[in-house]
Amino acid sequence: MAASAAPLDPLAYVQTASVVSHILQTRCDGYLKRTYGLSWPGFTVLRTLRQSGPTSAKRLTAALACTHSNITGIVDRLERDGWVKRTRSTEDRRVIFLKLTEKGEQIGEIEEGLHQFLTLSLGNWFGEAHPLFERLQALETLMEEGQPAEA
């Protein structure tokens, strides 16, 4: 009978996830800049706006788990480059909504191109349901709910 493997140190999980995330984001960022002149953070903002429709910067900050000043800088560049437009709320002039422009509506095509790039560069790793991805999704859900992760 084989001995069961000792559980890994939780810090090892965090460090490995962080390194892999950084490598994947760097690859995606390089592809997006070369192909569309778009950064990874900009891409994530466009993708979020496509999914949610016109959204305030405050909601984007929460959705993307970053600071308001980071969102402001990203949106400034996206607006400058014609991807998004800022519009004032008609109900509360203090609130500014962000929405995709016609150029920003291309996000679906950009997403398809990025998907193809990742599939080609990483082989079939993303081609099937993977237990690691399922575990990461479960961990994300637990963290969002503020509950400690189960062993």
Q: Is the pLDDT confidence value at 1 over 50?
A: no
> What is the three-class DSSP state of 56?
strand
Q: Is the pLDDT confidence value at 140 over 50?
A: yes
| pLDDT for position 137 | 80
| pLDDT for position 78 | 97
Running DSSP on this structure, what letter comes out for residue 147?
P
Q: What is the pLDDT of residues 31-64, one digit of tens each?
A: 999 999 999 999 999 999 999 999 988 888 888 8
| Tokens 């099937």 found at | 128
Pairwise CA distance, residues 9 & 16, whole Å: 11
pTM of the predicted model as reported, rounded to 2 decimal places = 0.77
Running DSSP on this structure, what letter comes out for residue 96?
E
Q: What is the pLDDT of residues 80-105, one digit of tens each?
A: 999 999 998 888 888 889 999 999 99
Report in angstroms the alpha-carbon separations of 29 from 6, 22, 36, 79, 82. Answer: 36, 10, 10, 18, 19
Strand order through the sheet with 84-88: 55-56, 96-100, 84-88
* Burial environment of residue 84 by CB neighbours within 10 A (0 to 12, 13 to 18, 19 or more): buried
Buried b (16+ CB within 10 A) or exposed e, 57-73: beebbebbeeeeeebee
